[in-house]
Amino acid sequence: MSCDLCGKKGPTKLTRIEGVAYDACESCARHGEAIKTVAPRKQFSRHNPDEQLILRNNAPKLLRDARSRSGKTQSDLAKELGVKESEWQSWESGSRSPTVALAKRIEKHLHISLLQEDVTENIGLGVGGSSGAGLTIGDLIKRK
Ligand SMILES: [Zn+2]
């Protein structure tokens, strides 16, 4: 690096002089105001929180209970949520799981809590040994 002001080779500092930023050597830098070059603190970047949500183990039971409380039929609820009745049935039986997005809609619709933070990362899902680790809801849905 060489000084933008006097051309001297050597270490320079980013310096603002009369509103202009220069790479200035030690002596030129004295005429200006040092510009802090500390990188702006990175915003704490959290994963998409949705990715960390999983269905509770007892989601099928929660769905059945919520439906009976609501006094609605599977067909009613499926219609209200815009899904097929067979899909709703598979959620209640536990053979399939709603996506997180759908589960959120169901939660609002029936005032229940279906999702929880994914804490299975360390304990595994208890299916298929070690290969079960890291399964997402999406993976589970694809499995028939
Ligand atoms: Zn200089």
C-alpha 29 – ligand 1 centre gap (Å) = 7
C-alpha 38 – ligand 1 centre gap (Å) = 22
| pTM score, whole prediction | 0.50
List the chain domain ranges.
1-37, 49-142
- In this predicted structure, what is the pLDDT of residue 118? 77
C-alpha 48 – ligand 1 centre gap (Å) = 48
- In this predicted structure, what is the pLDDT of residue 49? 58
Picking from 133, 121, 137, 128, the residue whose alpha carbon sits closest to that of residue 59 is 137
pLDDT, tens digit (0-9, with 9 covering 90-100), for 5-16? 999 999 999 999
Residue 22's alpha-carbon distances to 25, 37, 95, in angstroms, are: 9, 12, 66
Conformation bin of residue 82: beta by default, left when phi > 0, alpha when psi is -120 to 50: left
- In this predicted structure, what is the pLDDT of residue 128? 47
| pLDDT value at 19 more than 70 | yes
Conformation bin of residue 71: beta by default, left when phi > 0, alpha when psi is -120 to 50: left
Judged by DSSP in three states, 75 sits in helix
pLDDT, tens digit (0-9, with 9 covering 90-100), for 66-116? 999 999 999 999 999 999 999 999 999 999 999 999 999 999 999 999 999
In 19-131, DSSP assigns E strands to 20-24, 33-34, 53-55, 115-117
pLDDT, tens digit (0-9, with 9 covering 90-100), for 33-61? 988 766 666 555 555 656 688 899 999 99
C-alpha 36 – ligand 1 centre gap (Å) = 18
Superfamily of domain 49-142: lambda repressor-like DNA-binding domains (1.10.260.40)
